[in-house]
Amino acid sequence: MFLKTDIWNVQDSQFPTTGTPEEKLKFVLNYAILAPSSHNTQPWRFKIDSNVVYLYADRSRSLPIADPDGRELIISCGAALFNLRIALHHFSYAGKIKIFPDSTNPDLLATIELGDPIKEATDEKLLFQAIQKRHTNRHDYQDWDVPESLLKSLQKDAISEGAILQVIKGDIARANIAELIAQGDHLQMADPNFRNELATWVRPSTSKSHDGLPIYTHGIDEHWEFATPLFALVLRTLDMGQSVAERSRKLLQSSPAIVILSTKFDKPADWLGVGQALQRVLLRTQVIKLFASFLNQPIQVPELRSQLSKLLSDKGYPQIVLRLGFGMEVKPTPRRTVDEVVN
């Protein structure tokens, strides 16, 4: 339907208003696939059967070292599901969604139908317009405060999706979080299996796979893209834990706001739900041109995750660590087309 260069520029005017339910559902998937995912693995696949979309976890795109339980994989699928919900509302459908509809198939995360006709709410229109503008920004942020009113709004957004968003305040709390992130970097980068897994997803932006992390997402000038194979080799070969940890410390210290998304329980349904909360939060920040990136290292290391949990006032299960701030626009990462994720 679209050229690969047009993935981020789909036009809502092309929605097949007079088309079949199948054609309409396939069109809204163009927005679902713009969700973020760990290492840009895009671990989702869809099946369309007449008037129903089936959302599956694609285990072939899992990260066995960084995400052995598939927790982040399902969170990523939850983010895609939220985009799908907002897109349906934009095109005047309520959406009829069932979560984990088949207890015998845990990889079937949701079924989605068009649902009844509705009128799109003004707030959701803003979120829809943010879908194509939202990009993870891993660069330094400006030294501008994030409005307290926005942080409170983000907390309400998280609650509406069944999650908790805690704002990390105070120098001591931020220092404790920074220390856990640095420990996570050291432990992960010391593991050759982790480094190999990370390097596997380093791609030139022209890669035919249309996934993974181009070299510019690692803070390297895109003009050095020809050196991508060398960069991947260095990742595999050298333990750069010290430099990576220092970079993470710098990013955290220079970030105006640090927030943590958590859940009361820690089951797949909670992961899918927090993925939707995450995407609602990310789209909300994009509405006012606030950027975000992930610092999930202490959540990916079990012993550090338990320490992080003890630092949180809600005492739940931490799922996502986000840094927020204002900065320069960044290039989006590649995406597979709808035809590549539907089977």
Residues 223-261 pLDDT 10s: 788 889 888 999 999 998 999 999 999 999 889 999 999
Do both 199 and 314 map to the same domain? yes
- Report which of 2, 99, 113 is spatially closest to residue 57, judged by C-alpha positions: 99
Q: Provide the pLDDT confidence category of residue 51 given band limits of 50, 70 and 90.
A: very high
Residue 96 has pLDDT above 80, yes or no: yes
Better pLDDT: 207 or 130: 130
The beta-strand segments (E) located in the chain are 44-49, 52-57, 96-99, 108-113, 164-167, 257-263, 291-294, 317-325
Residue 54 has pLDDT above 80, yes or no: yes
CA separation for the pair 215, 229 (Å, rounded) = 10
**Which of 88, 106, 134 is the endpoint of a domain?**
134
**What are φ and ψ of residue 163, in 5° steps?**
-120, 175
Give pLDDT, residue 216: 87
Do both 166 and 98 map to the same domain? no
Q: pLDDT exceeding 70 applies to what percent of the chain? A: 99
- The whole-number average pLDDT for the span 329-338 is 94
Mean pLDDT score of the chain = 94
Residue 297 has pLDDT above 60, yes or no: yes
Give pLDDT, residue 1: 45
Residue 334 lies in a domain: no
Residue 331 lies in a domain: no
Q: Which of 37-46, 93-102, 213-222, 280-289 has the lowest mean pLDDT?
A: 213-222
Q: What is the number of domains present in the chain? A: 2
Do both 115 and 164 map to the same domain? no
Q: Which of 9-23, 119-133, 219-233, 302-316 has the lowest mean pLDDT?
A: 219-233
pTM attached to this predicted model: 0.96
Do both 165 and 264 map to the same domain? yes
- The whole-number average pLDDT for the span 113-122 is 97
Residue 288 has pLDDT above 80, yes or no: yes
Identify the CATH number of the domain in which residue 77 sits: 3.40.109.10
Do both 266 and 121 map to the same domain? no
Do both 265 and 237 map to the same domain? yes
**Residue 47 belongs to what domain range?**
4-134
Do both 101 and 183 map to the same domain? no
Give pLDDT, residue 225: 83
Do both 209 and 289 map to the same domain? yes
Q: 34, 336 in Cβ contact below 8 A?
A: no
Residue 292 has pLDDT above 60, yes or no: yes
CA separation for the pair 74, 21 (Å, rounded) = 26
Do both 212 and 179 map to the same domain? yes
Q: Provide the pLDDT confidence category of residue 3 given band limits of 50, 70 and 90.
A: very low
Residue 5 has pLDDT above 70, yes or no: no
Do both 80 and 181 map to the same domain? no
CB neighbours of 209 closer than 8 A, spacing ≥ 6?
203, 336
